[in-house]
Structure 1
Amino acid sequence: MSARDLYSGGVAVITGAGAGIGAGLARHASSLGMTVVLADIDAGAADALAGELNAAGGHAVPAVCDVRDPDSVAALAERVYADVGPVRLLVNNAGVEQFGYLWDTPVANWNRVVDVNVSGVFHGIRAFLPKMIEAGHPSWVWNLSSIGGVAVVPLQAPYIMSKHAVLALTECLALEVAHAGHDHIHVQAVLPGAVVSNIFESAGGVDGDGSDVEAAESQRLAMLDIKAEAMDPVTAAQVVFDQAAEGRFYLLTQPDYVGAAMTERANVLASQRAPILRTARRFDPATQ
């Protein structure tokens, strides 16, 4: 069955939909004929994308939501079910980055990463999944991990930790949904490789007082180098939707690239190798 057959006519809720892969997923969902709820903390970004999609003949609804706040996410779920309809696809996508040595990371920056990247996914599941279960219709939950969820990288520990957490959370959630007998709910983990976004520019850094700012900003520049060759978000979204329609659990924007990182991670764990610091500036999952 094609992605259009599965999703057309349904409602998609996407957090962090205002930019990056979230916007790409929203654009592709709209092109498949879905009603798209664009949830973002940036009202201007959500409004602009909704205007674009609606002008193109789609049906998009902007919604301001702070995924760090469980009440904000719960209110979003109530509004969607009251005003838009039952959700066929929930995409917990909102995410932020952080650069710098872990011991230099400001507490506020650590909390920001955990609250958005990990707790934001949890709040989405708590707010929407019971309603999706009760509706009884085939529905999908996608949680955004990352190639960083199967790799280890210095100077990005909070982000890498958060994406490992999201992957484990999603794997456990899939088992729990099966254990509870909710066969109409399909849980899938999305692992993007490099996809064009502004996540590196908006990433947190470290304070200048006694912290190694140069190391943090050098890592930011290294990631911006990767961005120059990153995948277009709409192209990435099409790959994800097509893989989801095939029934895969791990949805990889760049199957070969991300798959190599998954294989290497499995090999490291199986051989119980200690992490090895590589001298290459650019991240290559095959060398981690």
Structure 2
Amino acid sequence: MRLEDLRGRTAVVTGAGSGIGEGAARYAASLGMNVVLADVAAERLGAVAAELRAGGAAVLAVPTDVRDAAAVDALAEAAYAEYGEVTVLLNNAGLESLGFTWEVPADEWRRVIDVNLLGVFHGLRSFVPRMGADPRPSHIVNTCSVGGIAITPRMTAYAASKHGVQALTESVYLECAEAFPQIAVSVFSPGQVATRIFEDAPVHEQTADDAGFWRDQIREGMTPDEAAKLLFDGIARDDFWILTHPEAFERLASKRARVLGEKLRPDALFDGRN
């Protein structure tokens, strides 16, 4: 799908109130796309929408909690009512959590799983039938993470959800190839991108050191706008794997493959921060 062919078409972006979602919305608008923004943080969402409208973009902002299937159905209905089609769906909303598995509060664990994994499922459930009814080419991108292939202690809710997103995306790729071949499916696996994800993560007394470390690390990462450009470049190439940091991905994937292929213990190749 050539990027110039996206002008006048429609992109739906969840988690659009900040970070990669905001960057993707901005990049889609720069291509001349209609942009449907979704985020649970209505104030952030409104600020992004106002910025894009000021630049001349056609924008629809729909406050949405992706944990709620009915809310995502309403997002799809609003997008199609406003623009009549969706060409790019970016299931991007995501949360982080830190701490030993047994110390993470149950409601925090459930929220991370529900946003990161069920949120993607809800997006697929609400949009794929509508996109599949349109014979024109379209593209779905699910934001995973290098955490979706890595071994990540003290981020277990996040890791479990992202490994789930990886498996879900591979399965849906095969399902769409069978049922709706005009829908391309990709997994976006960013590495270190300077987003708010650790700023927004709950911090408990026992996780303060980890939170501080990761907040410092992520500030040095790629900007969300740079990540968004790589994302859309991947859409244009029809890549399944869309990466921001190929070398980091290869390192983690190689380690994971060895652990699985050689049936190693999880700590055989673990270096403390992966």
Q: Deviations over 1:246-279 (max 9, x none)?
A: 1110100122222322222222211221111889
- Which of 253, 257, 272 is residue 248 of structure 2 equivalent to? 257
Equivalence for 1:16: 15
- Which of 166, 185, 202 is residue 200 of structure 2 equivalent to? 202
Equivalence map 1:201-220=2 (5 Å): 201-206=199-204, 213-214=205-206, 216-220=207-211
Equivalence for 1:247: 238
> How far is the alpha carbon of 1:84 from its aligned partner?
2.1
How far apart are the structure 2 equivalents of 1:277 and 1:158? Answer: 22
How far apart are the structure 2 equivalents of 1:277 and 1:195? Answer: 28
Q: 1:26 to 1:174 in 2, by over 3 A?
A: same
- Asked if 1 retains the 8 angstrom alpha-carbon contact of 2:259 and 2:268, the reply is no
Q: TM-score, normalised by structure 1?
A: 0.91
- Which of 224, 232, 239 is residue 233 of structure 1 equivalent to? 224
How far apart are the structure 2 equivalents of 1:229 and 1:57? Answer: 31
Q: 1:139 to 1:279 in 2, by over 3 A?
A: closer
Q: 1:178 to 1:35 in 2, by over 3 A?
A: same
Instruction: For 2:116, give the aligned amino acid.
Output: N
How far apart are the structure 2 equivalents of 1:60 and 1:256? Answer: 36
- Asked if 1 retains the 8 angstrom alpha-carbon contact of 2:62 and 2:75, the reply is yes
Equivalence for 1:149: 148
How far apart are the structure 2 equivalents of 1:8 and 1:189? Answer: 23
Equivalence for 1:270: 261
Instruction: For 2:145, give the aligned amino acid.
Output: S
Instruction: For 1:195, give the aligned amino acid.
Output: V
Structure 2: stretches of 5+ with no match in the other structure: none
> How far is the alpha carbon of 1:8 from its aligned partner?
2.1
> How far is the alpha carbon of 1:77 from its aligned partner?
0.7
Instruction: For 1:122, give the aligned amino acid.
Output: F
How far apart are the structure 2 equivalents of 1:277 and 1:93? Answer: 32
Instruction: For 1:94, give the aligned amino acid.
Output: A
Residue 66 (1) aligns with residue 57 (2):
no
Equivalence for 1:122: 121
Equivalence map 1:132-211=2 (5 Å): 132-180=131-179, 182-206=180-204
- Asked if 1 retains the 8 angstrom alpha-carbon contact of 2:11 and 2:33, the reply is yes
Q: TM-score, normalised by structure 2?
A: 0.95
> How far is the alpha carbon of 1:173 from its aligned partner?
0.4
How far apart are the structure 1 equivalents of 2:82 and 2:47? Answer: 20
> How far is the alpha carbon of 1:228 from its aligned partner?
2.4
- Asked if 2 retains the 8 angstrom alpha-carbon contact of 1:101 and 1:156, the reply is yes
Equivalence for 1:86: 85
- Asked if 1 retains the 8 angstrom alpha-carbon contact of 2:255 and 2:269, the reply is no
C-alpha RMSD of the superposition: 1.6
Identity of aligned residues (%): 42
- Asked if 1 retains the 8 angstrom alpha-carbon contact of 2:12 and 2:38, the reply is yes
- Matched residue count: 274
Residue 28 (1) aligns with residue 19 (2):
no
- Asked if 2 retains the 8 angstrom alpha-carbon contact of 1:105 and 1:205, the reply is no
Structure 1: stretches of 5+ with no match in the other structure: 207-212
